[in-house]
Amino acid sequence: MVRDYDYLIETVDYNTFTRWEEVDLVVYAFTDLGMKVAINNRYTGLVYKNQIYDFYKEGQKIKGYITGIREDGRIDVSLQPDKGRHVHSTLDKILDHLNKVGGKSKFGDKSYPEDIKREFQVSKKVFKQAIGGLYKKGKISITKQGIELLKK
């Protein structure tokens, strides 16, 4: 069932949303710039192609976050929360991954960005920040082979 999204409001006043406000999204189109989404079933927004770390299909419902309103009144959206919350949620993904694979993982500083994106749905930069945080907390060690869960 293809739904008509012509009713969505395309431009808004800059104070319609706050930065990093969590919103409900429905994916409704793909363009050269990225993925068009219906925001709270009322507005249209864009998730830029370089910020999409998973596969989505039209009609899919997901959570998103307002990153800003451009000068032309159009809304930019992210699928990840602000950096601090994003890195924190990535810590949990990495720990879950390590528990699933027996405590040792081939992922580390030298991993390819595409592999990190496929496994953790984050950029290599966020992944490295997260493993750095886990290392500083004494939860993992970083080896030439990857990362390893430390036993407490």
pLDDT in tens, 26-78: 999 999 999 999 999 999 999 999 889 889 999 999 999 999 999 999 999 99
Going by CATH, does the domain composed of 83-149 fall within 1.10.10.10?
A: yes
Mean pLDDT score across all residues of the chain: 90
Which fold does the domain 22-78 belong to in CATH? OB fold (Dihydrolipoamide Acetyltransferase, E2P) (2.40.50)
Section 109-127 average pLDDT: 89
Of 57, 44, 56, 62, nearest to 2 (Cα)?
A: 57
Return the pLDDT at 83: 65
Q: How far apart are CA 28 and CA 30, in angstroms?
A: 7
Q: Flag whether pLDDT at 1 surpasses 80.
A: no
Q: What is the pTM of this model?
A: 0.62
List the chain domain ranges: 22-78, 83-149
Separation between Cα atoms, residue 71 and residue 30, nearest integer Å: 22
Dihedral sign computed on CA atoms, order 65, 63, 135, 107: negative
